[in-house]
Chains A and B, each alone.
Chain A
Amino acid sequence: MSPDTLSWFEASLLGELGRSSSWLFPALETLHFLGLCILFGSLLVVDLRMLGYLRGFSIAFTYRFIPVALFGFSINLVTGIWFFCVDPFRYYPNIAFRVKMVLILIAGINALLFWFLEHRKLQSLPADSDTDLITKTIAVLSLGIWVMVIICGRMMPYLEY
């Protein structure tokens, strides 16, 4: 991203609003934390069922939590972009921020693979059957990546120069 693009983000309305108010930024941070809890909690339900830790009911029943996960992600996407607008020159070079963004992309690809290749197959499995290795891998990747995203996020203030 060029310095001009970063300046564009910085000069945006979101950036101005975020910098001008003392309570807005903490409020956005709180929303960001809530969003991540909603995202992670809902994914835990789906992924723990895919791993077979939860059992005795159709995997398809957990799909009700996928919109919840998307809702949590949307909160964090909006607040995240807002943070970036407040101080893009601080976030952009930050190694923890960059790793976090790449991990989120990988998590997204993992989710798309699940949706387009796996989710329909799993729907027709009997309630008590075990899941195959691919399913379990997708679930482990999902949880593992999001845990690393949380850690990267928390590390960001400590990797500034």
Chain B
Amino acid sequence: MGFFLWLQETPVAIWIQESLWGYPSVLSTHAVGMAIVVGMVLMVNLRVLGFAGNIPLSAFERLFTVIWLGFLLNFISGALLFSADAVRFITSTVFLIKLSCIIAGGISMWVLVKMLMGEKNTGAASIIPGKAKVIAAVSILLWVGAIIAGRLTAYIG
């Protein structure tokens, strides 16, 4: 707990808490990053489930770079937001659920990349194993869960 109390008192955290534009601009960045990450993840998972099937799976590989950039944006903005109210967040069940959903969601995307990306799937008629589709469906639920938990963090705790 001492670490989180310390974190809240750092100059960066104080700036976010007290400056007129600090909090809204970090929050806006977080919203844009969310749109990129969850938006792209939803579309990639839809493709894995068979939607827009004539787009070669390998063509979607470049989207993962975009997802990573969005994730980096949100990791940084998220860390800044967290630092401004660290004690409240770390003791909030809803926030911890959000983090769990994000971690599990990230793992699911990593598993999908391992299963589907690479030389074996350059054709348009890529065969997607049933296991991958299950993971894609679960991944959608996890990322939607992250958004729900994220919104509820503002209301609970």
Residues of A bordering B, CB below 8 Å: 26, 29-30, 33-34, 36-42, 44-45, 48, 53-57, 61-62, 64-65, 68, 146-147, 150-151, 153-155, 158
Is B49 on the interface with A (CB-CB < 8 A)? no
Q: Give chain B's interface residue range (CB within 8 Å of chain A).
A: 35 or more
Which residues of B from 13 to 64 have beta carbons under 8 Å from A? 23-24, 27-28, 31-32, 34-36, 38-43, 46, 51-52, 54-56, 58-60, 62-63
Rounded to whole angstroms, the CA-CA distance of A161 and B155 in the bound complex is: 22
Q: Does B124 contact A (CB under 8 A)?
A: yes
Flag whether B144 is at the interface (Cβ < 8 A): yes
Chain B nearest CB, measured from A47 CB (Å)? 11
- Interchain CB contact under 8 A, B39 and A154: no
B147 interfacial contact with A, CB 8 Å: yes
Q: Are the C-beta atoms of A41 and B35 separated by less than 8 Å? A: yes
Chain B residues whose C-beta falls within 8 Å of the C-beta of A48 in the assembled complex: 62-63, 66
Is B152 at the interface (CB under 8 A from chain A)?
A: yes
Partner of A37, one of B38, B58, B59: B38
B34 touches A37 (CB 8 A): yes
- Determine whether the beta carbon of B151 is less than 8 Å from that of A44: no
- Chain A positions within 8 Å of B54 at CB level: 57, 61
Return the contact of A29 from the options B27, B32, B36, B151 (Cβ within 8 A). B151
B117 at the interface (CB under 8 A from A): no
Q: Whole-angstrom distance from the CB of B137 to the nearest CB of chain A?
A: 16
Tell me if B24 and A42 are in contact (CB < 8 A). Answer: no
CB-CB under 8 A for A150 and B42, given A34-B144, A54-B59? no
What 5 A-B pairs come out closest when comparing CB atoms?
A41-B39, A64-B52, A40-B35, A37-B38, A40-B39
Query: Are the CB atoms of A151 and B59 closer together than 8 Å?
Result: no
Does B148 sit within 8 A of A, measured CB to CB?
Answer: yes
**Contacting residues, chain A, for B150 (C-beta < 8 A):** 33
Cα A68 to Cα B39 in complex, Å, equals 11
In the complex, what distance in Å separates the CA atom of A17 from the CA atom of B147?
A: 23
A85, B46: Cα distance in complex, Å: 33
Contact check: which of B28, B34, B59 meets A155 at CB < 8 Å? B28
Report B-chain residues with C-beta under 8 Å of the C-beta of A57: 54-56, 59, 124
Q: How far is the CA of A139 from the CA of B87 in the complex (A)?
A: 42
